[in-house]
Amino acid sequence: MADASFDAVIIGGGKEGLVMGCYLALNGMTVGLFEQGNELGGAACTVPTPASGFRGNPHAEICAFWMSPAYYDFNLGEKGLKFIFPEVMMSKIFPDGRCIVVYRALEWNEELGTAIPNQAIVDRNLKELERISPRDAERVAKALEKKLYNWMYSHGQVLFNPPPLPGETDYIADLLKDPEGGIDPRYPFMTEYEVIRDLYDSPEMRSFALQWQLMNGIAPGDVAPPLQALLPMPSFAGLQAFAIAEGGFHNVAHALQRALSEQGGKFFVGADVEEVLVKNGRACGIKLADGTEIEAKKLVIDTAEIKQTVSRHLCNAQIDPEIRRKIDNIMTDRSQLFWGHIAFHERAQYKAAEWNPDCGKARLVFLGDADVEYMYTHYGYQMHTLRPGRWPERTYMYELTTTPWDPSYAPPGKHIALVGEGHPPPASYLTEKEWIQVKREIGDRLIKEWQKYAPNMTWNNVIGVNIPTPYEYSQKNPNWVNGCMYTSNQSPSQWANFRPIPEFSQYQVPGIEDLWLASGSQHCGGVGTLGFSAYNCYKRISQRLGLRKPWEEKGRMF
């Protein structure tokens, strides 16, 4: 006999598990959610770092959760989740004192749930681009005449819907077929570097786009999923909004937990799930590592990364060996980051403020030269093969100082920034000893680089540094295999109907009824908090079980 019983049993208490729990509880189901860690939230967390009195978001920092339908469906604003939208969205600062500053042109209306572009700010962004490259400003302006909005509409549809089944609209295929769609038919086959060369003429814009994509886990020589490859373009017009979760990213998890608890959902921390129990081809519960058995009367939802699901949770289930082999072969050698915090006394004083005084006020500041050839031929590869004492000669870092918008992250008058550099090797490439040495070196590397652009950012200004490596990430959360922040690579072979493999792409495992997959390994969960695998999986569950469809009830586009 089971030790406890729920209609729905959820494995994993990150944001995907919590979102799923809220939607199922909305239908009157009893929900039990099981999290192996000591608290809920997964990557949606805030911790004391890197020095006493400071707090930082060690994982998810750039917050896109304001777009989540769950925010509206569960009134998360009233449950403590507030967003701050800095006016200056991002900047790229060059060593010669020039910079490109992008102002946020999307205006979010919380009540209506809309994000409307402000044309005056789009025009201001084009003027800023023109100062660096009139030709690229013209190219972005031309794209804005039609195709950028088409891309954004299709991208939205792709993010908020399951991969299309036969007979359903395939937004990407339609866009690719549409002569007005503005997507060159070669793009799905081109490397990021090739796409970027085609989209922009100036080395400054090309380097900005490449650096941005490196942070997204896409290297210059990689082929990115369709539309992902093009996304820097709308950002350059300001048609994105990077929010800050006020008071810490953990408020995403806290608000979701309140919504779940208010609806009667129960959660259990320190509950490591060992196995999904399958009887007569149906998932009927879970077994925890301590031997406790939990019954699932209606369904089990697994939000663990797919390799763990198949090799551990389904180790005793009947699954085609060829499918097990395919899952084993999924690559996790992209989307690693150096990503951590520096606490300091005085904000960075950028030399480039003479070019545009707003450059340092951006939410996301990229620092680096415009040598795209070097980025392509040396940097990307050297970064990926670095060893202690053996780093690429040049650095392409970024910083996100949070305290100007939310001083609660630091003691009065002090500051904290998330800093990072993209595309380090996966955890398995180096030994633990080597990673410890690399961690000692990365802090000094980034501070020395920052100083070149902002001379006051010396060690004298620094209070504390903690920049975790992919190895540390891989040890922290079983969902980050090899330190890969998106659970597996972002590539065309890991996108839409191919993610994680075609057989599982509709959130189910063939041959096992009532088991649903809703982790970042599924479409569309592998793009950070912008990922909505639980929401999209719920859409399929609601079709199958005849559950509520809040998007239809509220006449929402997504």
Measure the CA–CA gap between 118 and 403, rounded to whole angstroms. Answer: 26
Identity of residue 107: E
Nearest distance in Å: CB 482, ligand FAD? 11
Nearest distance in Å: CB 508, ligand FAD? 17
Measure the CA–CA gap between 245 and 63, rounded to whole angstroms. Answer: 6
361: which DSSP letter? G
Nearest distance in Å: CB 22, ligand FAD? 13
Measure the CA–CA gap between 27 and 553, rounded to whole angstroms. Answer: 14
Query: Can you count the helices (H) and strands (E) in the chain?
Result: 18, 21
Nearer to ligand FAD, 157 or 336 (CB): 336
Pseudo-torsion of CA 255, 260, 261, 266, nearest 10°? -130
Nearest distance in Å: CB 558, ligand FAD? 17
For residue 302, the cross-strand partners are: 11, 517
Instruction: Give the torsion sign (CA, 453, 455, 456, 462).
Output: positive
In which element (H, E) is residue 182 found? none
Nearest distance in Å: CB 504, ligand FAD? 15
Nearest to 389 by CA among 346, 334, 445: 445
In which element (H, E) is residue 306 found? helix 306-308
Nearer to ligand FAD, 140 or 243 (CB): 243
Nearest distance in Å: CB 519, ligand FAD? 5
Nearer to ligand FAD, 170 or 302 (CB): 302
Nearer to ligand FAD, 182 or 422 (CB): 422
Nearer to ligand FAD, 182 or 526 (CB): 526
Contacts of 38 (CB under 8 A, 6+ apart): 269, 270
Contact 210, 367 (CB under 8 A): no
Nearest to 540 by CA among 22, 24, 9: 24
Distances (CA, A) of 300 to 20, 253, 271, 338, 372: 11, 21, 15, 35, 48
Cβ neighbourhood burial of 168 (10 Å; 0-12, 13-18, 19+): exposed
Nearer to ligand FAD, 23 or 34 (CB): 34
Nearer to ligand FAD, 403 or 529 (CB): 529
Nearer to ligand FAD, 170 or 421 (CB): 421
Nearest distance in Å: CB 54, ligand FAD? 18
Nearest distance in Å: CB 75, ligand FAD? 21
247: which DSSP letter? T
Nearest distance in Å: CB 307, ligand FAD? 11
Three-class SS of 473-530:
HHHHCCCCHHHCCCCCCCCHHHCHHHCCCHHHCCCEECCEEEEEECCCCCCCCCCHHH
Nearest distance in Å: CB 275, ligand FAD? 9
- When CB distances to ligand FAD are compared, the closest residue is 14
Nearer to ligand FAD, 376 or 473 (CB): 473
Nearer to ligand FAD, 17 or 220 (CB): 17
> In 69-132, where does DSSP find H-type helix?
69-73, 119-132
Nearest distance in Å: CB 8, ligand FAD? 15
Contact residues for ligand FAD, defined by CB under 6 A: 11-17, 34-37, 42-44, 59-62, 64, 272-273, 303-304, 308, 337, 339, 473, 477-480, 485, 519-520, 525, 528-531
Nearer to ligand FAD, 147 or 341 (CB): 341
Distances (CA, A) of 467 to 242, 343, 387: 22, 11, 16
Contact 306, 14 (CB under 8 A): no
Distances (CA, A) of 78 to 14, 36, 229, 255, 468: 20, 28, 36, 8, 34
Nearest distance in Å: CB 45, ligand FAD? 8
Nearer to ligand FAD, 77 or 478 (CB): 478
CA-angle at 82, arms to 109 and 401, nearest 5°: 105
